[in-house]
């Protein structure tokens, strides 16, 4: 029976952390995409509210200006939210990268452990093969 890798539980935890970070990036990217679409929709709405000055109706002109200003304010908020979402994506990618790096460190230790086990098994097999002629000669000398 080969010795168990003592850090296997840590490796599982690191993989889970990496998967959680990856999921966080996916959620952040989805939120950033939604924020970008909201910005585009507000920009389209703002473009649709272009004011054509009609000199005969001042009240309608003022109302149109107020509506356009309100949409511009909403657009500004949407753009700020989109920027914040993009920053969360960047932070999530950094967290994912760090989690991946921590997992790879333990993964390398696991690979070294497996290589050491294979090397020990190969050495044991070689010793068994090397002992065969000696064992046969000893058995013949002892009359077995």
- 55: three-class secondary structure by DSSP: coil
Distance (Å) of CA 51 to CA 64, 69, 75, 78? 7, 11, 17, 22
Which pLDDT does position 42 carry in this prediction? 92
Show the tokens assigned to 41.
């929709």
pLDDT-derived band at 97, boundaries 50, 70, 90 = very high
Which pLDDT does position 55 carry in this prediction? 62
Task: Provide the domain limits for residue 80.
Answer: 8-104
Which pLDDT does position 132 carry in this prediction? 72
Tell me the backbone φ, ψ of residue 143, rounded to 5 degrees: 80, 30
- 8: three-class secondary structure by DSSP: helix
Does any domain span residue 137?
Answer: no
Question: pLDDT digits over 41-67, tens only?
Answer: 999 988 887 766 666 677 877 888 888
Residues 6+ apart with CB under 8 A from 45: 71
Does any domain span residue 141?
Answer: no
Cβ atoms within 10 Å of 72's Cβ, excluding its own: 14
Does any domain span residue 111?
Answer: no
Show the tokens assigned to 48.
């649709």
Does any domain span residue 51?
Answer: yes
More confidently predicted of 20 and 133:
20
pLDDT-derived band at 79, boundaries 50, 70, 90 = very high
Which pLDDT does position 76 carry in this prediction? 94
Domain count, the chain: 1
> From CA 111, how far away is CA 7, in angstroms rounded?
11
First vs last C-alpha separation in the chain: 31
Does any domain span residue 140?
Answer: no
Does any domain span residue 43?
Answer: yes
Which pLDDT does position 12 carry in this prediction? 92
Show the tokens assigned to 18.
């990496």
Does any domain span residue 119?
Answer: no
Q: What is the mean pLDDT of the chain?
A: 87
Residues 6+ apart with CB under 8 A from 95: 21, 24, 25
Q: What are the helix (H) ranges across the chain? A: 8-48, 58-141
> From CA 92, how far away is CA 24, in angstroms rounded?
6
Does any domain span residue 139?
Answer: no
Show the tokens assigned to 92.
């999530």
Question: pLDDT digits over 13-24, tens only?
Answer: 999 999 999 999
Per-residue pLDDT, averaged over 71-86, amounts to 94
């Amino acid at each position: 029976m080969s010795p168990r890798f003592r850090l296997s539980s840590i490796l599982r935890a690191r993989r889970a952390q990496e998967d959680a970070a990856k999921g966080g990036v996916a959620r952040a990217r989805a939120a950033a995409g939604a924020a970008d679409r909201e910005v585009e929709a507000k920009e389209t709405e703002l473009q649709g509210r272009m004011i054509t000055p009609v000199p005969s109706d001042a009240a309608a002109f003022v109302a149109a200006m107020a509506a356009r200003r309100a949409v511009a304010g909403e657009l500004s908020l949407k753009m700020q939210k989109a920027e914040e979402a993009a920053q969360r994506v960047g932070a999530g990618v950094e967290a994912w990268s760090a989690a991946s790096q921590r997992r790879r460190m333990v993964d390398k230790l696991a690979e070294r452990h497996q290589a050491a086990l294979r090397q020990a098994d190969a050495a044991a097999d070689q010793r068994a093969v090397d002992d065969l002629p000696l064992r046969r000669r000893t058995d013949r000398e002892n009359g077995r």
